[in-house]
Structure 1
Amino acid sequence: MNTEHDGVRPGISRRTLLARTGAAAAALAVGPVIGGIQPAMAASWRVPGEDAPHKRTWMAWPSSSTIWGSLLSKIQADIAKLAKEVAKYEPVIMCADGSSAASQARAACGSTVTVISSIPVSDCWMRDTGPLFRVDGAGGLDSFGLNFNAWGENATTFYGLPYSAYSKDRVLAGRVAAYSGVGFSKSSVVGEGGGIEYDGDGTLMATESCWLNSNRNPGKSRSQVEAELLARFGATKMIWLPGVTGYDVTDGHIDGTARYIKPGVVMVQLAGDVRPDVWTANAQAMYNVLSNATDARGRRLQVLTIEGPDTLPRIPSGKRADFLSSYMNWTVTNSAIITTQFGDTAKDAAAKAAISAAYGRPVVQLNLDNLYGNGGGGAHCVTMQEPNR
């Protein structure tokens, strides 16, 4: 192998405040021990890139007043808006926590979104809680989970939420896999889908701040974490990026700053004027590493850039620094890219044009201020694609 260097309490973003020490969760071992880890997968399995054809998108309906309090209806409105947009391009299954929540979700999302109540959920962050689906190139499909532990128990550390607030999401991945009728196994490392990017062609990108963190993988070396992730994703090379520890509940998920467009091509959002210096420096550091990186095929990465907004006219000035002003947190559908707009007319238009040109697909920009502001997550955070076999 080769190496180169959120549920939320009301009023507090998933991506704000300084963290204290989070509770550690033990990794779950599966399969035979190989080099001190347990990858346990056939070499043919791989997680395809997000631009590969999808069978459907999975989402989860937020209904917990313990987590959201008085903000719940606003978050639900943004989830419904996004689900209806995704459903224009591919099927959407929305998991709701029981019949009452399902009825509420159906009323909000309409008939184009399939709502089910048979898979209990705690919150809406399907990217972090759902399974990662893999294909084998011969019509096979299986999946694995990353042992979601509420972002290293930061949900408790940051917001004082009880451990039980995310009890259903801790086992959600396996239940989604069972509904889809595919095999499921647990990784031997702890993390979240929003914490890793994959090109489907052998290369991964991830932040050290998420994966090499004692609140997720205590006692594991970088080489052990890397080997397990490479094995699970069917990849051969990891590009490690620094990230930011302790400034948000995710410890610096990569999907707000750097994304794969396709094999050999990545995009980085350089921070606009509204982002605090720590995130500006992080974006520049990611750009610097990626500009000098090669992938598993030996290709020098093409690094595209966009800039974040310079102003957030709809957001009170006191809340702008904590707002997740990321165009990068888009979700890919079969025929369009869905991202956000923030009201900075020039920057919104430039981001839309750049993303559309990169993918060769139309880009839809939605106003998701409540999800991005009060939730601190975006369209990518609340969706998980299931690929075609």
Structure 2
Amino acid sequence: MDNTERASRPGVSRRSFLTAVGATAAAGAVVGVAGDALFAGRPASAAGTFVVPGEVAPHKRTWMAWPSSTSIWGSSLLPKIQGDIAKLAKEIAKYEPVVLCADGTTNAANARAAVGSTVQVISSIPVNDCWMRDSGPLFRVNGSGGRDAIGLNFNGWGGKQTASKDRYVAQRAASYAGVSPFTPSYATGEGGGVEYDGDGTLFATETCWVNSNRNPGWTRQEIEDELLYMFGATKMIWCPGYLDPDDITDDHIDATARFVRPGVVMVQVPPAGTTGPWADNARAIHDTLLNATDAKGRRLQVLTLENPDTLPRWPHSRWNTFLNSYVNWVVTNNAVITTQFGDTAKDAAAKAAIGAAFPGKTVVQLNLDQLYGEGGGGAHCVTMQEPLA
């Protein structure tokens, strides 16, 4: 990999250091089983009934999780990751309620000390880690005041990390929220692996879904049918992905491309002339979406912003594992919270582009270097919105 690629790739989507701290296979992992019997009697989609709304729809609250495992993070890194989680939770709480799940009473007390009184901390939903986007529930609405929730059978990104507690977070959070019924998907995957507009359209990379570590024996069409059914959608756009051995997520789409609203997406692209597999993959995702139509027959409007050119707060040797993704933002009721990486010009350009894409919302850029750099995930990865009915 040349230096240009190191400076411009979107980075590893999750923790490459897991192997260094002894990550274990997901205990009791839930995996899909292919077969027409799974879909017997089920309609092609749930459109017109319950739908996962787009993230710009009004929120009731945001769900997060407090990391507390030294076996995952190590004793020296854990407090730094906790610091970024606390910073993000307190920022989101300025715009909407936040529920932070902590693993037991001691960890809940530590979390309360870090986040203060504006964030609700609960200890009744045990967690392994902080990646609520992947382990948490996806809440659905029916347009008539009804709500339910679905889960995507989180299995530790294909057995790469223990998920003995996180595999139950979706159902337990839905129960805590008073939302029923809860419906687990037959397919296995993560919330960060699929983008949805709430208006009938999904897009995702194939690499993290059509993958034997999550859905052995499933065809792409079977996975597509199940996701459309669960999200209440009618159109899937499959994007290419890139498999990197250091990327635990197998290339989640939310580090590269996001829905802004129905019909409009934003893709983070490398600067012109950048070479390498990550740069090529970002351009391929951009081109796929540029040439796609959504469920309503609209040609997608594709907005772009560029990766930072430099990560001045980090040694150059660390750039290749840093998730330098502006688009891994989290949308709240009145703000979009994203990151700044210390590249003054590119940070400002990203803020302006996101602000133009979300008129009327405040754009907040936080320094979350520990989460993005050491954790390889971002603001979107550690949050899950709960919509209003």
Q: Do they fold alike, i.e. is TM over 0.5?
A: yes
Write out per-residue CA displacement over residues 24-46 of structure 1, whole angstroms, 9 at most, x where no aligned residue.
853279x9843598989584110
Matches of residues 48-59 of structure 1 in structure 2 within 5 Å?
A: 48-59=53-64
Matches of residues 17-32 of structure 1 in structure 2 within 5 Å?
A: 25-27=30-32
Q: Secondary structure at the match of 1:351?
A: helix
Partner of 2:238: 240
Partner of 2:72: 67
TM-score (norm 2): 0.89
Partner of 2:108: 102
| AA in 1 matched with 2:155 | N
TM-score (norm 1): 0.89
State whether residues 39 and 188 of structure 1, in contact with CA within 8 Å, keep that contact through their aligned partners in structure 2: no
Q: Secondary structure at the match of 2:386?
A: strand
Runs of at least 5 residues in structure 1 that lack an aligned partner in the other structure = 1-5, 15-19, 156-164
Write out per-residue CA displacement over residues 271-324 of structure 1, whole angstroms, 9 at most, x where no aligned residue.
259987221111100011111110000001000000010000001111011110
- Report the alpha carbon displacement of residue 166 of structure 1 after superposing the two structures with TM: 2.4
Q: Distance in 1 between matches of 2:20 and 2:305?
A: 24
Matches of residues 285-296 of structure 1 in structure 2 within 5 Å?
A: 285-296=284-295
Structure 1 position 46 matched with structure 2 position 51: yes
Matches of residues 155-194 of structure 1 in structure 2 within 5 Å?
A: 155=161, 165-183=162-180, 184-194=182-192
- After superposition, the Cα gap between the structure-2 partners of 1:375 and 1:188, relative to the gap in structure 1 and judged at 3 Å, is same
Write out per-residue CA displacement over residues 228-277 of structure 1, whole angstroms, 9 at most, x where no aligned residue.
00011010000000111234000000000000000000000002599872
| AA in 2 matched with 1:385 | Q
- After superposition, the Cα gap between the structure-2 partners of 1:101 and 1:9, relative to the gap in structure 1 and judged at 3 Å, is farther
Q: Distance in 2 between matches of 1:11 and 1:44?
A: 40
Write out per-residue CA displacement over residues 80-136 of structure 1, whole angstroms, 9 at most, x where no aligned residue.
000000000000000000010000000000100000001101100000000000000
Q: Distance in 2 between matches of 1:273 and 1:68?
A: 36
State whether residues 152 and 185 of structure 2, in contact with CA within 8 Å, keep that contact through their aligned partners in structure 1: yes
Structure 1 position 252 matched with structure 2 position 265: no
- After superposition, the Cα gap between the structure-2 partners of 1:40 and 1:354, relative to the gap in structure 1 and judged at 3 Å, is closer
Matches of residues 268-287 of structure 1 in structure 2 within 5 Å?
A: 268-272=267-271, 277-287=276-286
Partner of 1:218: 216
- After superposition, the Cα gap between the structure-2 partners of 1:253 and 1:13, relative to the gap in structure 1 and judged at 3 Å, is farther
Name the % identity. Answer: 64
Structure 1 position 79 matched with structure 2 position 85: yes
Q: Distance in 2 between matches of 1:76 and 1:286?
A: 32
State whether residues 47 and 233 of structure 2, in contact with CA within 8 Å, keep that contact through their aligned partners in structure 1: no
State whether residues 106 and 115 of structure 1, in contact with CA within 8 Å, keep that contact through their aligned partners in structure 2: yes
Q: Over the residues paired in the alignment, what is the CA RMSD in angstroms?
A: 2.5
Write out per-residue CA displacement over residues 48-92 of structure 1, whole angstroms, 9 at most, x where no aligned residue.
000000000000000001101121000000000000000000000
- Report the alpha carbon displacement of residue 175 of structure 1 after superposing the two structures with TM: 0.4
Q: Secondary structure at the match of 2:317?
A: helix
| AA in 2 matched with 1:383 | T
The count of corresponding residues between Structure 1 and Structure 2 is: 367
| AA in 2 matched with 1:353 | A
Partner of 1:375: 375
State whether residues 14 and 377 of structure 2, in contact with CA within 8 Å, keep that contact through their aligned partners in structure 1: no
Q: Secondary structure at the match of 1:166?
A: coil
Q: Distance in 2 between matches of 1:276 and 1:25?
A: 37
Structure 1 position 228 matched with structure 2 position 226: yes
| AA in 1 matched with 2:110 | Q
Partner of 2:331: 332
Q: Distance in 2 between matches of 1:275 and 1:97?
A: 43
Runs of at least 5 residues in structure 2 that lack an aligned partner in the other structure = 1-12
Partner of 2:138: 132
Partner of 1:161: none
| AA in 2 matched with 1:325 | N
State whether residues 270 and 305 of structure 1, in contact with CA within 8 Å, keep that contact through their aligned partners in structure 2: yes
Q: Secondary structure at the match of 1:266?
A: strand
State whether residues 269 and 282 of structure 2, in contact with CA within 8 Å, keep that contact through their aligned partners in structure 1: yes
Partner of 2:206: 208
- Which of these residues, 142, 154, 158, is aligned with residue 152 of structure 1? 158
Q: Secondary structure at the match of 2:39?
A: coil
Partner of 1:305: 304
- After superposition, the Cα gap between the structure-2 partners of 1:9 and 1:321, relative to the gap in structure 1 and judged at 3 Å, is closer
Partner of 1:89: 95
Q: Distance in 2 between matches of 1:386 and 1:209?
A: 27
- After superposition, the Cα gap between the structure-2 partners of 1:92 and 1:39, relative to the gap in structure 1 and judged at 3 Å, is farther
Q: Distance in 2 between matches of 1:188 and 1:36?
A: 14
